[in-house]
Chains A and B, each alone.
Chain A
Amino acid sequence: MNAIKKYLGIIWLLMAPVVIYFLVAGAIANIDPAGKKDINNPVIWIIIIAIFTPIIIGLMIFGWYAFKGEYGHLPESSAELKE
């Protein structure tokens, strides 16, 4: 199981730039000052990309930790979190 956890880490790591790519591509394709839908509104895209970027970076870090085997053992007490 630990090997699966580890190698899946690479997928989470690679998934992050793919999500960012789709978000930016979606923004470029749909922003339209003349449009009336939410997806045409640049402000919404700016908010979403701004809030999603740190989350995606979080997914990359999660993938990196997983790849390094950090999730091989989960802490069973708070004492382990203090180490």
Chain B
Amino acid sequence: MNEPISSKTIRSVIAASSVGTMIEWYDFYIFGMLAKTISTQFFPEGNATAALLSTLAIFAAGFIVRPFGALVFGRLGDLIGRKYTFLLTLVLMGCSTFLIGLVPGYKAIGIAAPLLVLLLRLIQGLALGGEYGGAATYVAEHATAGKRGYYTSWIQTTATLGLFVALAVIMLVKLNMTDVSFNEEWGGWRYPFWISILLVAISVYIRLKMKESPLFAKLKSEGKTSVNPLKESFSHKPNFKMVLLALFGAVMGQGVIWYTGQFYAQNFLETKCNIEFEQSRTIMLWAIAFATPFFLFFGWLSDKIGRKWIMMAGMLLGILTYRPIFNTFLQDSKVDHQTIESAIKIQVGEEQKHLVELESNKGVVEVVSKKFYLPGWNFTRVIKDTLYNNRPGERLVSQPVYNDIHLDIVTYLKFIFLVFLLILYVTMVYGPIAAFLVELFPTKIRYTSMSLPYHIGNGVFGGLVPFIGLLLTTTYPADPLVGLWYPIAVAALCFIIGTIYLTNKIDKDVTD
């Protein structure tokens, strides 16, 4: 770079980029976290069109629109500049999130409601696809050679912090009202969407005051910007082969490690271990809070020892320890016959019974729930027996399910530590990756070239973790951990490719 950049400037650059990117992640996550409530408001069961729109809103936004957004905004960023492009993605994201919170429910405006939500969700996906590459490039192009990993690692904290803020905001709103008030048409579930507009307004104000990236500004003043970044990135063989290497040797594995550590773990605690809402959320919140500084640590470390081996070590640890860690979750939250016997001797709650009508008046499901207490922990046993109208006196007895499990303090702390480990792997693969990607591509096509593999790795490979997990669990129901083979296999493939094909050398000069 021609002029040295002051530490005050670099702090402003990092703050402006990171806050905006964090808000974009927050916006993207709240939709997923509130999916259950959103589906009852906008995508009612029994309506085929609404079901199709719901599927598109959830899957298309992540899988198709994010990589497409990477291409659209990446191209724009390489043509007109980083600053205005990632300002645009921020405004698009903020407005679409705020507007989702304003769309009336299906009961009020019919099919227009899910259509509007789908449209806004697709804009969210598009904006997210364009944001990350811009923020990472913008920070990296301001950074000095020896600190690129450390400075860009601030951007890397944003996805996890966005998740943290989304979890915290939803939990705060939910804890301050009844479930009915939260889930009603204009209820509390809309507040996290409305809050977004305030956050975005602040971030836009900060970003407006920033200048263009010095490397891009120099390129532009010399008339050396790319005329067609898409063509140069993907049809020019020397660039394209680096795009492929970035995807299969680094980002693909990073995507599955990231998703498994932060989302699969949370879902596993809630649905497979049946841990109660508040505890499963606070386990994630504490683990994220403890692990987040390690993004910065591994970013800093990558400036000293190179990016490659830190990322590969994170993948290897995931490959080797996922099954033992998730098996511990399962075993330590298991309620067996002996536990029931012990609880009976201590304290058992009142039996609650209610009936749920089956479709077409075929009969009823009798739901009997009972709370059991042990020192420091408790759980609810639910038995659902089915009684058919055409088979009087016959009872289809179900196996008891134990849910709302409240763990004792030792197990709770142990779970926080194990989730912390999972997120620590995330920090290892994710902390240095922005600097790694930035260094792989030249300035004039950097935004385009790094955005696409990033969003394919995270959006597609990472986003498929729950779907392939469900596919494997359905195919091999005997093994509750079988869903982990997908992230393990993808991370193993990426580890092999990365170890053999990538170099650990840091590119000191990204000005070219």
Which A positions have Cβ atoms within 8 angstroms of B?
1, 4-5, 8, 12, 26, 30, 37-39, 41, 43-44, 47-48, 50-52, 55, 58-59, 61-62, 65-66, 70-71, 74-83
Closest partner residue, chain A, to B493 (CB atom):
A15
**Known contacts A1-B500, A55-B456; is A78 also within 8 Å of B467 by CB?**
no
**Known contacts A55-B456, A81-B442; is A44 also within 8 Å of B467 by CB?**
yes
Q: Which of A62, A80, A83 contacts B248 (CB 8 A)?
A: A62
Q: How far is the CA of A50 from the CA of B55 in the complex (A)?
A: 15
Residues A26 and B471 in contact, CB atoms below 8 Å apart: yes
The main secondary structure of chain B at its interface with chain A is helix
Residues A79 and B245 in contact, CB atoms below 8 Å apart: no
Question: How distant is A39 from chain B, measured CB to nearest CB, in Å?
Answer: 5
Q: List 3 tightest A-B contacts by C-beta distance, closest first.
A: A78-B442, A78-B512, A62-B244
Question: How distant is A59 from chain B, measured CB to nearest CB, in Å?
Answer: 6
Contacts of A78 in B (CB 8 A): 441-443, 512
Q: Which of A5, A41, A51 contacts B64 (CB 8 A)?
A: A51
**B507 beta carbon closer than 8 Å to chain A:** yes
Q: How far is the CA of A26 from the CA of B71 in the complex (A)?
A: 30
Residues B501 and A58 in contact, CB atoms below 8 Å apart: no
Q: Which of B52, B239, B443, B497 has the most CB of A within 10 A?
A: B497
Residues A77 and B244 in contact, CB atoms below 8 Å apart: no
Contacts of B443 in A (CB 8 A): 78
Residues A47 and B64 in contact, CB atoms below 8 Å apart: yes
Residues B242 and A48 in contact, CB atoms below 8 Å apart: no
Closest partner residue, chain B, to A58 (CB atom):
B244
Contacts of B502 in A (CB 8 A): 74
Q: What number of residue pairs across chains A and B have CB atoms under 8 A from each other?
A: 91
The main secondary structure of chain A at its interface with chain B is helix
Q: How far is the CA of A48 from the CA of B240 in the complex (A)?
A: 23
Question: How distant is B269 from chain A, measured CB to nearest CB, in Å?
Answer: 20
**B56 beta carbon closer than 8 Å to chain A:** yes
**B238 beta carbon closer than 8 Å to chain A:** yes
Question: How distant is A28 from chain B, measured CB to nearest CB, in Å?
Answer: 13
**B283 beta carbon closer than 8 Å to chain A:** no
Q: Which of B60, B63, B244, B464 has the most CB of A within 10 A?
A: B244
| 24 A-B residue pairs with CB within 8 Å | A5-B500, A38-B470, A39-B471, A43-B52, A48-B467, A51-B67, A51-B460, A59-B244, A59-B248, A61-B244, A62-B245, A62-B248, A70-B237, A71-B501, A74-B245, A74-B501, A76-B505, A78-B442, A78-B443, A78-B512, A81-B239, A82-B238, A82-B442, A83-B238
Residues B471 and A30 in contact, CB atoms below 8 Å apart: yes
Contacts of A51 in B (CB 8 A): 63-64, 67, 460
Residues B460 and A55 in contact, CB atoms below 8 Å apart: yes
Question: How distant is A65 from chain B, measured CB to nearest CB, in Å?
Answer: 5
**Known contacts A38-B467, A62-B245, A78-B442; is A47 also within 8 Å of B59 by CB?**
yes
**B342 beta carbon closer than 8 Å to chain A:** no
**Known contacts A47-B59, A48-B63; is A65 also within 8 Å of B242 by CB?**
no
**B419 beta carbon closer than 8 Å to chain A:** no
Interface string of B476-502 (1 = CB under 8 A from A): 000000000000000000001100111
Closest partner residue, chain A, to B474 (CB atom):
A39
Closest partner residue, chain A, to B459 (CB atom):
A51
Q: How far is the CA of A76 from the CA of B236 in the complex (A)?
A: 17
Q: Which of A1, A8, A26, A65 contacts B244 (CB 8 A)?
A: A65
**B503 beta carbon closer than 8 Å to chain A:** yes
Contacts of A65 in B (CB 8 A): 241, 244
Contacts of B507 in A (CB 8 A): 76-77
From 189 to 242 in chain B, residues with beta carbon under 8 angstroms from any chain A beta carbon are 236-242
Q: How far is the CA of A66 from the CA of B244 in the complex (A)?
A: 11
Contacts of A61 in B (CB 8 A): 240, 244
**Known contacts A51-B63, A76-B507; is A39 also within 8 Å of B470 by CB?**
yes
Contacts of B64 in A (CB 8 A): 47, 50-51
Contacts of A52 in B (CB 8 A): 460
Q: How far is the CA of A78 from the CA of B242 in the complex (A)?
A: 11
Question: How distant is A52 from chain B, measured CB to nearest CB, in Å?
Answer: 7
**B120 beta carbon closer than 8 Å to chain A:** no
